[in-house]
Amino acid sequence: MASRKPGVLALFDVDGTLTAPRKGVTKEMLEFVKELREVVTVGVVGGSDLVKISEQLGKSVIYDYDYTFSENGLVAHKNGELIGTESLKTFVGDEKLKEFINFTLHYIADLDIPIKRGTFLEFRSGMINVSPIGRNCSQEERDEFEKYDKVHNIRPKMVSVLREKFAHMNFTFSIGGQISFDVFPQGWDKTFCLRYLEEFQEIHFFGDKTYPGGNDYEIFESERTVGHTVTSPQDTIEQCRSLFLAK
Ligand SMILES: [Mg+2]
């Protein structure tokens, strides 16, 4: 790899960028990444954990890319080796987490909505997922809640209360999907991985959800990156070809 351009990194989102949403990678893409890696350093950053990302990109993902950032970089690999981990538990600490969790459960207990099921709060390594109806509702109940929420603003109201009450914790609240919202420390979006990439002068980021509210927005907008919006894995290949491989 002597001919690789120094200081240049091509960094990719997973879903919708390297693979079709929630699908596995194609042989064509695997070949392409290999070809690209001869010219520039390559990295991948996904919101899912490494198990999920390996299912999509292949078991050898941490060796196929120079950098593999799972959970937005909370787990970081370089050339197959783990170079860093961070978690909500270590970063925020149990005392503060308990304060937040207790308040949130009380809020849900006092909330009058048509139905409630179970699993109102799911603790993950990099975020807390909060669902007023409870995550183990049926698909039909999900659809009903989503409609109800659009009229009654259950989630937006709850988020604004939590945001004010826990302003000192600097959490980001992100309403997504039908029944829940995510809570995580400010900056724990995809820009988190940039702390491992200080040696690069030119970081090209490719993602499909680069609009405000999308999970690629912050890193796409970051001053540290040159952002590229893609519409499909095929588009990713075409844009990279003209950027890095055109003669
Ligand atoms: Mg995506």
Answer whether residue 237 is part of any domain: yes
Cα 4 to ligand 1 centroid, rounded to whole Å: 27
3-state secondary structure of 57: helix
How sure is the predictor about 213, in pLDDT bands with cuts at 50, 70 and 90? confident
Average pLDDT over residues 149-173: 96
State yes or no: pLDDT of 2 exceeds 80.
no
| pTM of the predicted model as reported, rounded to 2 decimal places | 0.85
- Quickly count helices (H) and strands (E) in the chain: 9, 11
Answer whether residue 84 is part of any domain: no
Cα 235 to ligand 1 centroid, rounded to whole Å: 13
Reading the block at residue 161, the tokens are 């209360």
Reading the block at residue 180, the tokens are 């829940």
Domain termination residue (choose one: 185, 209, 224): 185
Helices 139-152, 154-165: inter-axial angle, 10-degree rounding: 70
User: What is the rounded radius of gyration, in angstroms, for the C-alpha atoms of the chain?
Assistant: 20
How sure is the predictor about 116, in pLDDT bands with cuts at 50, 70 and 90? very high
State yes or no: pLDDT of 68 exceeds 70.
yes
Same domain, 179 and 193: no
Same domain, 63 and 109: no
pLDDT for 188 equals 95
State yes or no: pLDDT of 11 exceeds 60.
yes
Cα 64 to ligand 1 centroid, rounded to whole Å: 19
pLDDT for 117 equals 97
How sure is the predictor about 206, in pLDDT bands with cuts at 50, 70 and 90? very high
Q: Determine if residue 174 is labeled as part of a ligand binding site.
A: no
Same domain, 137 and 157: yes
Cα 109 to ligand 1 centroid, rounded to whole Å: 34
Q: Determine if residue 117 is labeled as part of a ligand binding site.
A: no
Q: What are phi and psi of 159, to 5 degrees?
A: -60, -40
Domain termination residue (choose one: 136, 156, 185): 185
Same domain, 106 and 168: yes
Same domain, 193 and 235: yes
Q: What is the DSSP string of 24-39?
A: PPPHHHHHHHHHHHTT
* Number of domains observed in the structure of the chain: 2
Same domain, 131 and 178: yes
Q: What is the CATH number of the domain that holds 111?
A: 3.30.1240.20
Q: Determine if residue 15 is labeled as part of a ligand binding site.
A: yes
Average pLDDT over residues 156-160: 97
Same domain, 194 and 179: no
Q: Determine if residue 4 is labeled as part of a ligand binding site.
A: no
pLDDT for 46 equals 95
Same domain, 101 and 178: yes
Catalytic residues: 13, 15
Q: What is the CATH number of the domain that holds 222?
A: 3.40.50.1000
Average per-residue pLDDT for the chain: 95
Same domain, 105 and 179: yes
Same domain, 105 and 180: yes
Same domain, 228 and 207: yes
pLDDT for 150 equals 96
Q: Which residues contact 210 (CB under 8 A, 6 or more apart)?
A: 216, 217, 220, 221, 227, 229
Domain that holds residue 165: 89-185
Cα 215 to ligand 1 centroid, rounded to whole Å: 7
How far is residue 139's CA from residue 148's CA, in Å, rounded to a whole number?
14
State yes or no: pLDDT of 119 exceeds 80.
yes
Average pLDDT over residues 106-121: 97
Ion ligand 1 residues within 5 Å by Cβ: 13, 15-16, 208-209
How far is residue 97's CA from residue 80's CA, in Å, rounded to a whole number?
32
